[in-house]
Structure 1
Amino acid sequence: MDQHIAESIGRPDLVRLDDRLVCLRFETMKVVSALAAVRHLLDTGAVRRGDTLLDSSSGIYAYALALACHRHGMRCHIVGSTTVDHALRTQLAVLGATLEQMEPCSDLKLDQKRRVERIHEILAAHPEYHWMRQYHDDIHYLGYRAVADRIREATGTEGLTVVGGVGSGASTGALARYLRAAPGGPGDVELVGVQPYGSITFGAEHVSDPEIIIAGIGSSIPFGNVSHELYDTLHWISFDAALAGSVDLLGRHAVFAGLSAGAGYLAARHERERAPERTVLFVAADTGHRYVDTVYARHREAAPIADLAPREVTDQSQLALPWSRMRWNRAPAAARAAAVSALTQGAFTSYMNNVNH
């Protein structure tokens, strides 16, 4: 029996949708990483019960961290995106979390940058707060070990392709890392990352989506815990294409999931068609409730997914909407991205040393 609702919410469902197509469906995926991260911090003495944990979020992680703090008797402070809706604000308030929400902003890249700046301001005023650094600390990988074990038991690791949003790198990256570290050998696990246009993580910042950057699976700032060398293939998928995927996923398979799941579903179907001998599993990180007005209410606008196919590219300069695919071949981060990441990490280390001393 679970001792807290967060443990139940964080446990995903494995649903076989079709021959060789499996959905890993979460109610709220980041509860898995937040619970394990907070437990690890407590076990190692990095924080104590009653301390305040701080982070920035576009929505899912805010709820996850609030639940983890509730579970372990911690205080929670969130710097939230403009995308945090009324339902989530209400839940955070009742759970006892403090939310600072950014002013409305049509540019989510600017919104993300402002949130990080605000985190630094809060830490300067409250050095006793612990910054969870969901975008930079690989303790957020820890919670996915049990999920990987469950996948291994259900599907095995021979001829398995895992598809999902890259985001901070903690979910898909962790699943691939743990699945490839299986007892008895790494098996044959391929990792396919899904990105929005405009994300800098794999070099698509020069292509903008006229609708919106899909919050949660891309980034306008360097993320320190994305392991580029874990990914075999990348798909860049626009809002319109992801909307079509989400609507088809609900209509065809009755899975009501978020926009990133629609993007992952499109990529997974394509990968399955390319490799008929492989089982393809895609991640549905959250339910579709917060996308009712922005996605599902527009279901009549959705293009038939049979009409959609990715443009095959060999270089990011060839990227084009609505959907592009490129083999990454487990390459390390591009030199420029690596340099930017190193500078960011160096600035962060310097900053933390100044705060702690």
Structure 2
Amino acid sequence: MTRVPEAMVAAAVHEHITDAIKDPSLIRLGPNLVLARFETMKVYAALGAVRSLLDSGIVRPGQTLIDSSSGIYALALAMACHRYGLQCHIVASTTVDATIRAQLEVLGATVDQMPPSASLQLDQERRVGRVRALLAERPDVHWMRQYHDEVHYAGYAELAEIAARSLPAGALTVVGAVGTGASTGGLVESLRQRDPEVRLTGIQPFGSVTFGSERLSDPEAIIAGIGSSIPFGNVRHTLYDRLHWVDFRYAMAGAVGLLREHAVFAGLSTGAAYLAARWEARAEPERTFLVIGADTGHRYVDKVFSRHQDALDPELLFPVEVGSLAELSLPWSTMDWARRAYR
């Protein structure tokens, strides 16, 4: 019998684009450093949440789903609505670019985009206010509440299966942006059902209330989706073993360095996670570090990648180890969190 060359084996035919793009590409960045690179990671959150809501009868076919987003989740929710025959309304951050907005509109979503503002905090407050106003006008719509509804954890169990099958046995640390808490939290909760010793390292920007850096300001901060100016109910602080706070310049160094060294084009949150993970991986060579690359770098072309000549060399950067939140300082601080509660 003639053996078919591996390269000629037919690829799976997917029924919907969400099935094709949700799984990550796993890329080795070093002896004990692996990147899970996504086109848009939040497809897992959106699909898992929408399926759960439909199955439970909380949402019915044809209903309108609404949420606020800085971009990645908006596109994921619009695709999930497209797949399951639902309507979608997005209250978009001022940081949502023309590329994402055009995709949302073609997918049938209606978009309310906030005007330019002096800070991401003001932008976030405006979005929440707009959502509440729309809910008052249209009680038939369902607010997805990606920041607070734990239903967004559900979809990441599938990702945990992929990680468990693909990574070598032994000690594992997941490194990723905290954001709403659902992606890193959902992944690690599922992984810890197999191995309670799996560690989680979270990435935060300065100025975020999530892990207490709100007193510090990063004047160039545009790292959408990593932190927050308001508390997020989906962040389970007790899941995190370690935290890194990274400013824009250092995140930019990580993102440009990742493209330069590994030809991986990814966003600022991935750049910050890569910077932190490569530092930790060198200190613990016996442990595997899985870096979460939540999205591509397309929305950062103008403000990051077109300025690549200005990027710092990641080899020359290192964090300051702190023992308390009072000691946090720019541009890069790190601290053992030890799975404790916060406030």
Name the TM-score class by shorter chain.
over 0.9
Would you say 1:72 and 2:81 are equivalent positions?
no
**1:47-126 equivalent positions in 2, closer than 5 A:** 47-126=59-138
Matched with 1:234 is 243
| CA displacement, residues 126-157 of structure 1 (integer Å, 9 cap, x when unaligned) | 11100000000111111111111111111156
Match of 2:264 among 255, 271, 285: 255
Matched with 1:10 is 22
| CA displacement, residues 305-333 of structure 1 (integer Å, 9 cap, x when unaligned) | 11110010011111111100000000012
Deviation beyond 4 Å, 4+ runs, structure 1: none
* Maintained 8 Å contact 1:248/1:305: yes
Alpha-carbon distance, 1:188 to partner: 2.8
Q: Following the alignment from structure 1 to structure 2, what is the Cα–Cα distance between the partners of residues 246 and 114?
A: 29
Q: Following the alignment from structure 2 to structure 1, what is the Cα–Cα distance between the partners of residues 160 and 307?
A: 35
* Maintained 8 Å contact 1:198/1:213: no
Alpha-carbon distance, 1:158 to partner: 2.5
Matched with 1:220 is 229
Q: Following the alignment from structure 1 to structure 2, what is the Cα–Cα distance between the partners of residues 255 and 214?
A: 18
Q: Following the alignment from structure 1 to structure 2, what is the Cα–Cα distance between the partners of residues 16 and 171?
A: 21
User: What count of residue pairs does the alignment treat as equivalent?
Assistant: 331
Matched with 1:286 is 295
| CA displacement, residues 53-89 of structure 1 (integer Å, 9 cap, x when unaligned) | 0000001011010000000000000000001111111
Q: Which amino acid letter does the alignment assign opposite residue 126 of structure 1?
A: R
Matched with 1:277 is 286
Would you say 1:301 and 2:310 are equivalent positions?
yes
Matched with 2:205 is 196
Q: Which amino acid letter does the alignment assign opposite residue 136 of structure 2?
A: A
Q: CA RMSD in A?
A: 0.9
Q: Following the alignment from structure 2 to structure 1, what is the Cα–Cα distance between the partners of residues 289 and 197?
A: 12
Q: Which amino acid letter does the alignment assign opposite residue 20 of structure 1?
A: N
Matched with 1:244 is 253
Q: Which amino acid letter does the alignment assign opposite residue 52 of structure 2?
A: H
The alignment partner of 1:99 has SS state of: strand
Q: Which amino acid letter does the alignment assign opposite residue 133 of structure 2?
A: E
Question: Structure 2 stretches of 5 or more lacking a match?
Answer: 1-12
Q: Which amino acid letter does the alignment assign opposite residue 265 of structure 1?
A: Y
* Maintained 8 Å contact 1:15/1:23: yes
The alignment partner of 1:214 has SS state of: coil
| CA displacement, residues 219-264 of structure 1 (integer Å, 9 cap, x when unaligned) | 0001001110000000000000000000110000111000100000
Q: Which amino acid letter does the alignment assign opposite residue 94 of structure 2?
A: T
Matched with 1:161 is 173
Q: Following the alignment from structure 1 to structure 2, what is the Cα–Cα distance between the partners of residues 72 and 21?
A: 37
The alignment partner of 1:171 has SS state of: helix
Matched with 1:128 is 140
* Maintained 8 Å contact 1:24/1:283: yes
Tell me the TM-score normalised to structure 2 length. Answer: 0.95
Tell me the TM-score normalised to structure 1 length. Answer: 0.91
Question: Structure 1 stretches of 5 or more lacking a match?
Answer: 336-357
Q: Following the alignment from structure 1 to structure 2, what is the Cα–Cα distance between the partners of residues 229 and 157?
A: 24
* Maintained 8 Å contact 1:34/1:68: yes
